[in-house]
Chains A and B, each alone.
Chain A
Amino acid sequence: MNRQKRTAMILVNGILLFIVILWTIPTVGLLISSLRNRDDIRSSGWWSIIPNYGWSNTGEELPLPEGQTRDTPITIGSKTATFDEWRAGIDMGDGTRYVWIGTLRSGRIEIYRQQWMVNWNFTTDNYSQVLSGKEFEIRNGDGTISTVQGDDMSASFLNSLTVAIPSTIIPIMIAAFAAYGFAWMSFPGRRILFIAIVAMLVVPLQVALVPILRDYVSLELNGTFLGVWLAHAGFGLPLATYLLYNYISTLPKEILESAFIDGASHFTIFTRLVLPLSVPALASFAIFQFLWVWNDYFIALLFLGINRNNEVLTQRIANMVGSRGADWHLLTAAAFVSMLVPLIVFFSLQRYFVRGLMAGSVKG
């Protein structure tokens, strides 16, 4: 029985470990690649930072035997093989391997030997090039020097902050006021208006975008931060109001009553009493909304797309995929820059984060 339990345990942990590795490898690969230099990324995979036993170039070479043809066997050293076989490489039997480099007439024979290899050339150059907006000199493989324009991600980073922080706080503030109003104040139409707000949860973003964009063009809000804040506030409100209502309406009635008897107004009770008591709910939703806004590409693309100065990180990266699709040293660094804030939030505030995401997952 005990032994059976132990095998089961090993099986469970083994499968789990396998899945976890499968899930983590893509991100790890991205991080490692972002720290390797351009030429290394082109010539070998990021996994070559793991020590691997294989054929490595010794730097020694032999001249080509002359006067050979493609069809007749060629003898070099102790072995005889066709040209194509030499090109693929032949084991010489003494621990070396000869590879014909080049064509039949011109080229060389390189000698390889099996040994442990590892490529641990790390650099932060990719990050400085991606973050800065200045021009950079890079040395090409053939020794020439060319200048490239940096990608100015630090500007996009600041833009992302400018979009995300108010887009998180403004809707939460408006929603908290509304939630309190619906929970503790009396006015005509209270119930029907609340149901109307929650019903808005079913409306997908796409339904609202075309008319709002027209409004923005006529109000000259298109491409401004204010426009994006209001859009995120509008689209985030139904869920925020609903969640905060659920929390605020269950606060103990006695506390509010005694404050009222002491002569406090609704506004004082809300700001001094209800808000501090609601911190857990506010924090969970804030984290959800912040990440939602930070990671958003669609709304930014539509409402900020016209103004290149206000471009956020997701837009910048999507543009880089188009314009620098093969420059993996830059793309990987850029992607990691955009992931930095979410990952910090995730690993430091995981409990709130999970709660917020679970509650917020129905958002459209």
Chain B
Amino acid sequence: MQKTEGAAVFTASSDTPTPLRAILTLLAPVVVIAILYSGFLFLRENGNAPQMVKTIIAIIWGIGGATALFFVANGVVELLPIKWVARVQPFVFVGPALMLLTWYLAIPALRTLSLALVDDQTGQFTLDNFTSVFTERIMIEAWTNNLLWMLIGTTLTVVFGLLIAVLADRSRFERAAKSLIFMPMAISMVGAGVIWKFVYDVNPNIGLLNAGVTAAGGTAQPWLTLLQPWNNLFLILVLVWMQTGYAMVLLSAAIKGISDELLEAARVDGANEFAVFFRIILPNISGTLLTVVTTIIIFTLKLFDIVMVMTGGQFGTEVIGVRFYREMFVNNNPGSASAIAIVLLVAVIPIMGYNLRQFSRRDTF
């Protein structure tokens, strides 16, 4: 935000419009809105046009519509007297963003809070929704599991990320290795869920893990279901598989930022590689390390897809994210769901606030 102070702010200048142009500009919004509305009706009706055609029309309608609205709004504003252009035009630029955010985040946060404070049946003020977030048996299970995800998932991700970053830094195959480790980040958590369900399949002719276990003389195990509480660990490994690439990329960039002279000086003084790592590299990347840790903690707090696809939260693998979904859409308890969301918000704020502070110090692009 400091930059805003320094940035020059210009006042608008525009030519006085001719009457003809004025009429056309005023006509444009009517035409655009009419076209957009008929497009909306066409798309909602789901007629029997081939799907490819509908896809193309929908994409053009969406993107073209948003663009056209900006142009039309600006055209109308620029018809105003110059003094008014300068006053109104900024809101053509920032207005849509402010409106969307008010509708989608600011007001809903308040409405969710009020829903959470009201009993679903009676409509009376109550704090029961919040107490049940911390006392219900299934919620305690969910919190315990989330804690497990947070501790084990974050630790493993960061350790692997750091190990790979350090190793890759010394290898000739750095680029290839890094891109293969990073690849799981590109795919969806649903896709990753399928990949790992396949690895964990109980049939040793299908699941790689059980094939290994039986080949070594053991018996095949139902890793995701009956093996409680260890099944949580096998779910957490999916997260580690997906997020290690992220940790690696950030940590690797931080390690490369340490000056070569510093490392060289330590080595000349006789420090071995372990001493260099613990005494020089680690302290120098502590800022990035914290960013990675906080980001993954937030990720584990909101976790939904992996558990939903792989176990549906059954067999003792419930987590808060899945609980929220079930309260809202299966049990039809908007009050309880809202209370979970608010608790999540309160839990995330301090971590996120810290993260944002770090983030604003970093060059982004």
Contact = CB atoms under 8 A, between A and B. Distances in A.
B9 interface: yes
A46 B86 CA distance: 67
Interface residues of A, number: 133
Chain B CB count within 10 A is highest, among A15, A238, A346, for A346
Contacts of B9: 184-186
Interface string A243-271: 10011011001001100100101110010
Contacts of A358: 246, 249-250, 253
Given A234-B103, A342-B186, A166 B205 contact: no
5 contacts: A12-B167, A29-B195, A203-B345, A247-B364, A332-B194
Contacts of A173: 66-67, 70
Main SS of the interface on chain B? helix
Interface string B103-132: 111111101100100000000000000000
Interface of A: 9, 12-13, 15-17, 19-20, 23-27, 29-30, 33, 41-47, 155, 158-159, 161-162, 165-166, 169-170, 173-175, 177-178, 180-187, 190-191, 193-198, 200-212, 215, 220, 224-226, 229-231, 233-235, 237-238, 241, 243, 246-247, 249-250, 253, 256-257, 260, 263, 265-267, 270, 280-281, 284, 291, 294-298, 301-302, 309, 313-314, 317-318, 321, 328, 331-332, 334-335, 338-339, 342-343, 345-347, 350, 353-355, 357-359, 361-362, 364
Contact of B302 (A177, A182, A206): A206
Contacts of B281: none
B7 A204 contact: no
Interface in B335-357: 337-338, 340-342, 344-345, 348-349, 352-353, 355-356
A213 to B, nearest CB: 8
A164 B356 CA distance: 27
Given A183-B4, A197-B98, A338-B190, A158 B55 contact: yes
Contacts of B46: 309
Contacts of B198: 26, 29-30, 33, 328, 331-332
A355 B34 CA distance: 40
A23 B187 contact: no
A318 B308 contact: yes
Contacts of B194: 30, 317, 321, 331-332, 334-335
B105 A225 contact: no
A359 B241 CA distance: 20
A174 B73 CA distance: 13
Contacts of A237: 97, 100-101, 104
Contacts of B98: 178, 193, 197
A257 B104 CA distance: 36
A19 to B, nearest CB: 6
A28 B4 CA distance: 49
A241 B302 contact: no
A210 B335 CA distance: 10
B265 interface: no
B38 interface: no
Interface in B233-265: 241, 244, 246, 249-250, 253
Given A209-B328, A297-B189, A332-B198, A200 B62 contact: no
* 4 residue pairs, one from A and one from B, having the closest CB atoms: A234-B104, A181-B93, A166-B62, A295-B188
Contact of B109 (A185, A203, A250, A267): A203
B105 A203 contact: yes
B93 A180 contact: yes
Interface of B: 1, 3-4, 7-15, 40, 43-44, 46, 51-52, 54-55, 58-59, 62-63, 66-67, 70, 74, 78, 86-87, 89-94, 96-98, 100-101, 103-109, 111-112, 115, 160, 163-164, 167-168, 170-173, 176-177, 179-191, 193-199, 201, 204-206, 208, 211, 241, 244, 246, 249-250, 253, 295, 298, 302, 304-305, 308-309, 321, 324-325, 328-329, 334, 337-338, 340-342, 344-345, 348-349, 352-353, 355-356, 359, 364-365
Contacts of B15: 263
A170 B62 contact: yes
B115 A246 contact: no
A243 B364 contact: yes
Nearest to A305: B329
Contacts of B3: 183, 249-250
A161 B97 contact: no
A5 B170 CA distance: 11
Given A16-B168, A174-B97, A354-B182, A165 B59 contact: yes
A359 B365 contact: yes
Contacts of A42: 205-206
A208 B104 contact: yes
B43 A224 contact: yes
A225 B108 CA distance: 21
A282 B112 CA distance: 33
B365 A246 contact: yes
A55 to B, nearest CB: 14
Contacts of B337: 206, 210
Contact of B205 (A25, A44, A169): A44
Nearest to A343: B186
A43 B205 contact: yes
B100 A234 contact: yes
Given A166-B62, A226-B62, A338-B190, A204 B328 contact: no
Contact of A158 (B8, B52, B163): B52
A5 B204 CA distance: 42
